[in-house]
Structure 1
Amino acid sequence: MNKRKWYLKKRMGLMIFIALFFLGGRMEFAKFRYDPAQLAQTILQHGQLQPVFGTKNKDGKTIQFLKIGNRPDLPLVVFVHGSPGALNAYESYLSDTILSQKADLLAIDRMGFGYSDFGETESSLITQSAMIAMVLEDFPQQKKILVGHSMGGPVIARLAVDYPDLVDGLVMVAPSISPQLEPSNTWRRVMDFCLICWMTPPALRVCNQEIIPLQGELEQLVRDWKCLEIPVTVV
């Protein structure tokens, strides 16, 4: 009888955990998204220039960005977030009026995050960088410095390799750029299994699914490092 009670309690506890995990993943804080109007208001409260949201579309895919400033004579600093995340991860930089005196600012929602086809995984660095390149092509006169954090690091590196005319410098902050240093994906593959994947919050699911094939993507990128002829800073 005691064993049966113990089994029932254990089963009930597991069911409660699964329910809380599922419900928690549907709450706003787990979506790694932001309210565009609220973000713009917060930036303006710092005395910043007017932030402008925009989107670009290609092959059925949509990418969203936020730009501050429209001065072709100044450089353009482009911020690319990690995984999971969204462009509001750079809110403090986007609100920095000293920075915006010296450069226009542009922040990107990477594919699958924020408002760039949220919840739809795009694991190819080539495709991700191509979508960002499409945005940068709208600002041909400006020198472009790309800043990428974590997963944003290999994305901007791939972009610089594939579109050298669009990039004048890279700043990579704690980037995932070494295939040898990537950890084992065993637990990530378990997380990608049917029921668990379905229960996982969309942003975390996309994060998991884009990191699983990352090692192979990085191995290709390492072979192309020699193509870079621009300043690269790794922090």
Structure 2
Amino acid sequence: MKLLKKILKIVGIALFVLFLVLYYLFWNFSAPKSDVKVLKKFSGSSVTPVLTYENFKGFKYRKLSIIKDTTLPTLVFVHGTIGSSTDFVKYMKDSALLNKANMISYDRIGYNYQDKNLVQESIAFERDMLKNILHDITPHKTILVGYSYGGPITLAIQEKVRKVILLAPAVYSKVEPMPWSLNLYKWKVTRWLVPPIWQEASKEKLSHKQDLQLFENNWESTPNNIVSIHGTNDWIVPIENSLFLKEQFPKNQFELISIPDAGHGFIWSKFDTIKEHFIQQLD
């Protein structure tokens, strides 16, 4: 019996230590990266982005810009929840895309490195911030790329641009899933377990469904042509979001491209496929 208790004690301690290690790795992996680490991700690339800090309505945010040739179109990437400007590093390093476009990516408020600001939980705020970023870019050379929560932000832009590309856009409140893990944030007794960046993402996720209801019945009011790319196996943002959009737009304004067997992380797992669709829109 003493031996059994000793074994159970050792196993318990080992499991606890393992939990702490995995928790630290998860915390560290998902936390926004420093400027040095962000730029290091571009090592080996033929072009290093210009990293700047910009201001919008008193909020400071980080922006990555690759502007080589003003005669080229510009891809402007808008990340989701949880996310950052570095979600699109692989695209911003790709030589084929670099030959065809300038590129901009930025950290939304609440997702910057050591950000002291909270997420704004407002598509309208995010839309206006994006409009501010687009101020110095020629509209007919601008291609907006919105991933996940970034989808409704780009779709809410009412100014005419060259094209809007949606990647698994979260645009329809009725199919917005609420994972059980959100309860860890909702319950005060367990909230401390949720890393700060995930707390911000949780707040944005919990308010997103209601916020969408202010926009979702008027998506067709945009003057822009839309391409929506969606994985058929996406359970985080189901493809019904893109099917909902397809019903709102005329055929000559909206194109749905479904990626068989792809999940929500397809911007990484299906990089070559997504890249080819980008190139088609740039040609």
TM over 0.5: yes
2:46 corresponds to:
47
**DSSP-derived class of the 2:144 partner:** strand
The alignment's C-alpha RMSD in Å is 3.1
**If the length of structure 1 is used for normalisation, what is the TM-score?**
0.80
Deviations 1:39-72 (A, max 9, x none): 3344251222x31012221332112110012432
Q: How far 1:36 sits from its partner (Å)?
A: 2.5
Aligned pair count reads: 222
Return the match for 1:172 from 166, 177, 182: 166
In the TM superposition, 1:1-235 aligns within 5 A as: 16=16, 20=20, 24=24, 27-31=27-31, 33-48=32-47, 50-115=48-113, 117=115, 120-140=118-138, 143-158=141-156, 160-161=157-158, 164-165=159-160, 167-184=161-178, 188-189=182-183, 191-235=185-229
Q: How far 1:81 sits from its partner (Å)?
A: 1.4
Q: How far 1:197 sits from its partner (Å)?
A: 2.4
Return closer, same or farther for 1:137/1:202 CA change in 2, 3 Å cut-off. Answer: same
- Give structure 2 stretches of 5+ with no counterpart: 230-283
Return closer, same or farther for 1:119/1:169 CA change in 2, 3 Å cut-off. Answer: same
Deviations 1:96-135 (A, max 9, x none): 1221111110011122113383662221111122222212
For 2:155 and 2:130, how far apart are their aligned partners in 1? Answer: 12
For 2:198 and 2:152, how far apart are their aligned partners in 1? Answer: 19
**If the length of structure 2 is used for normalisation, what is the TM-score?**
0.67
Contact 1:75–1:102 (CA under 8 A) maintained in structure 2: yes
**DSSP-derived class of the 1:220 partner:** coil
Higher relative contact order by CA 8 Å / sep ≥ 6: 1 or 2?
1
For 2:127 and 2:139, how far apart are their aligned partners in 1? Answer: 20
For 2:132 and 2:206, how far apart are their aligned partners in 1? Answer: 26
For 1:170 and 1:141, how far apart are their aligned partners in 2? Answer: 12
Contact 1:149–1:174 (CA under 8 A) maintained in structure 2: yes
- Give structure 1 stretches of 5+ with no counterpart: none
